[in-house]
Amino acid sequence: MTHVLELISTWAIPVVVAVIVFYALFKKVPVYSVFTEGAKEGFKTAVMIIPYLVAMLCAIGMFRASGAMNWLVDAINPVTKLIGLPGEVLPMGIMRSFSGGGAEGMLADLLKEYGTTSQIGRIASVALGSTETTFYIVAVYYGAIGVTNSRHSIAAGLLGDLASLIAATLIVNAMWF
């Protein structure tokens, strides 16, 4: 089974790319010119989102440096203990809503300190893969396309992040407790 999974993971992306290219050729789509046009548009989009990305990274730095993260973790920690979420994982769970890279750095620290097979390491790993960078998406992508009213997007995204964090905790605790 491991050999089959390794084979699939090695060939999945190249096969998908080849199928797309051959399908486009079959439909007589000028593959190269369409690809370069898409790359140009992607570059324009990247340039458009840079100000929003810089603003988001600055806000994250201020949030962490001000001590607000520690204050928030201390305030929420008694509630998280009720479901079995270790306090050490909570900062990563909160950071994940703001920054994927920041959360990955926190995960690396947790894995280095507690180990990959520890309950903390397992919960943190599953939680990182289960949650989304809600504020990043709203700030960068909504900013890039000019959306000024996010309506219920932030609340729905944070609720999804919370549900994912709780589910990750409960599932890991059920499987490895």
Q: Where are the domains of the chain?
A: 42-176
CA dist 21 → 17, 37, 41, 74 (Å): 6, 15, 19, 52
pLDDT tens figures, 78-130:
888 899 999 889 889 988 988 888 889 889 989 999 999 999 999 999 999 99
pTM above 0.75, yes or no: no
pLDDT tens figures, 43-67:
887 887 788 778 877 887 788 789 8
d(CA 88, CA 113): 11
